Structure formats: structure tokens, C-alpha cells
């Protein structure tokens, strides 16, 4: 299965900084053919990034979107607007959207359906908090998020990202054993939804992925890539992650 490594820049980088990053990054990964490379800059940088990435082996993604095609939704961005900038994917259900913007499973499902209808690939995020893990509710939480978030959604062009909330931006990382345990659970839930098609869905790990731990995580049977935050903000760091096979 081809690996899938995505950079989620969150609320970082101006247009000028985006162009500078891509100017340095693109040449360093131009020969990589066995990894799908994705960059998700903030909304303001999407158009500039789309122009810079045209004709390269790096794909553009958005960090979020709204579910309506157009209308009186001040401050929102539609699927068509993302496609217009060159986006091929969109991240939906990130824990920060759930936490800070109170997006529940129903909202996330509407966004996923709208993205799929428009022809965008979906990077669907799920994961548990520290309190939920300590209360032994990890599988309950993730099972619910998958069941509700993916209701009525087909498997085509779908990527699932497991992001333990307790490991995001904290420097803490799930051990390979912890990551594999949850990824195997996710794979089994996807089998119940999609049958044999679940075997082709990439499941990413997201939670303080770095060049130092990527090899151990990627060695896990059901870890097919990474959703990378802080370590994706510097061209050399993210290039090392993308080229982890060559770095061995």
C-alpha cells in the first residue's frame, strides 16, 4: 500500500512563508514516487500553494470546509472554492475543530458527504482524549466517531487519521504498540462498514510524528502514513518524514 503523509500547518504561515517553504521543499522530494505527499496550508495560502504545486508530485489539501455549496455563510469556504485553488483533499473532523469549534459527529458527517459529492478526497480524523483513554473509553469513542462520522459515506478516496488528542502538540507519542492496537481496531470497524474495500483505506497516525519516530510507527502493520503537525513546518524536517524509507 502506498504511504500517505500529510502536513497540517494549522494556523501557521503567511502567503510569502508558504511560497518560501515550497520553493525549498519541492526539489527535495521530487524523486519520491512511493508516497502520496500532501500539504494543508491555511485558507489564505491555498491559492498560492496550488500554483506552486502545479505539475509536481505534491498534492494540496484544505484543513476544513463548509458543507453548503454557496450562500449566506459569512467566513466559510465551500468545496467548489477549494477545488478552484487546486485542492484534492480536505481534512475533516480534526480534534481541534471538535474541541474549539464544537463540531459534533453530525456536523462532521455533513462535511464529509459534501466533500465526497464535490469530488474531494477526505482525510477523516478520529481520536480520544487523555481522560477518555485513562477511563478505558478509547474504543468506545473511536467506534462512535467512525460509525456516526462515516454514516452513508463510501470508501472511495477516503483516508482515516487516528490522532490521540493527548499526543497532539505535546511531544508525547503513542508507542508503536498503542498505535497498532488502535489502528487494528479502526481497520476492523472499516471492514464492518466497507467489507474488503477497507483493506485499501490508508489509516494515518497523527500525534507528534517526527523524523525520529516515523520509522517505528510506519513499521506497524496497520499504520499507512502520518498526519504531521509541528514537524511539517520546516522543509527539511518534513522532507525527512516523506523520505523516511530512504533515511533507514
First-residue to last-residue Cα distance in the chain: 19
- Other residues' Cβ atoms within 10 Å of the Cβ of residue 121: 19
Asked whether 186 and 158 are in contact (CB, 8 A), the reply is: no
Q: Give the three-state DSSP class for 170.
A: coil
Catalytic residue among 94, 96, 128, 183: 94
d(CA 72, CA 25): 38
The cell for 213 is 519516530
Cα dist. 81→44, 52, 86, 163 in Å?
Answer: 12, 18, 9, 27
89 is catalytic: no
Q: Rounded to whole angstroms, how far apart are CA atoms 154 and 171?
A: 34
- 10 Å Cβ neighbour count for 2? 10
> Is 96 marked active-site?
no
Task: Give residues with Cβ within 8 angstroms of 131, minimum separation 6.
Answer: none
Backbone angles phi, psi at 151, to 5 degrees: -60, 125
Query: Which of these is catalytic: 96, 128, 145, 163?
Result: 163
> Closest Cα partner for 122 from 163, 162, 62?
62
Catalytic positions: 94, 163
Amino acid at each position: 500500500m502506498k504511504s500517505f503523509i500529510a502536513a497540517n500547518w494549522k494556523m501557521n504561515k503567511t502567503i510569502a512563508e508558504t511560497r518560501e517553504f515550497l520553493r525549498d521543499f519541492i526539489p527535495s522530494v521530487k524523486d519520491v514516487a512511493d508516497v502520496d505527499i500532501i500539504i494543508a496550508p491555511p485558507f489564505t495560502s491555498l491559492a498560492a500553494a496550488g500554483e506552486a504545486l502545479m505539475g509536481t508530485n505534491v498534492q494540496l489539501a484544505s484543513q476544513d470546509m463548509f458543507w453548503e455549496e454557496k450562500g449566506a455563510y459569512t467566513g466559510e469556504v465551500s468545496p467548489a472554492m477549494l477545488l478552484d485553488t487546486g485542492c484534492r483533499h480536505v481534512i475533516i473532523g480534526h480534534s481541534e475543530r471538535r474541541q474549539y469549534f464544537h463540531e459534533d459527529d453530525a456536523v462532521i458527517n455533513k462535511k464529509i458527504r459534501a466533500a465526497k459529492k464535490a469530488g474531494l478526497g477526505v482525510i477523516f480524523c478520529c481520536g480520544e482524549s487523555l481522560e477518555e483513554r485513562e477511563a478505558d473509553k478509547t474504543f468506545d469513542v473511536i467506534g462512535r466517531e467512525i460509525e456516526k462520522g462515516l454514516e452513508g459515506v463510501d470508501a472511495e478516496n477516503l483516508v482515516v487519521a487516528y490522532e490521540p488528542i493527548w499526543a497532539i502538540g505535546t511531544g508525547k507519542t503513542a508507542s508503536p504498540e498503542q498505535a497498532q492496537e488502535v489502528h487494528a481496531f479502526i481497520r476492523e470497524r472499516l471492514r464492518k462498514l466497507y467489507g474488503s474495500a477497507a483493506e485499501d483505506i490508508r489509516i494515518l497516525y497523527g500525534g507528534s510524528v517526527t523524523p525520529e519516530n516515523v520509522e517505528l510507527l510506519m513499521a506497524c502493520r496497520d499504520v499507512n502514513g502520518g498526519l504531521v503537525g509541528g514537524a511539517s513546518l520546516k522543509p527539511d524536517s518534513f522532507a525527512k518524514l516523506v523520505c523516511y524509507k530512504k533515511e533507514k
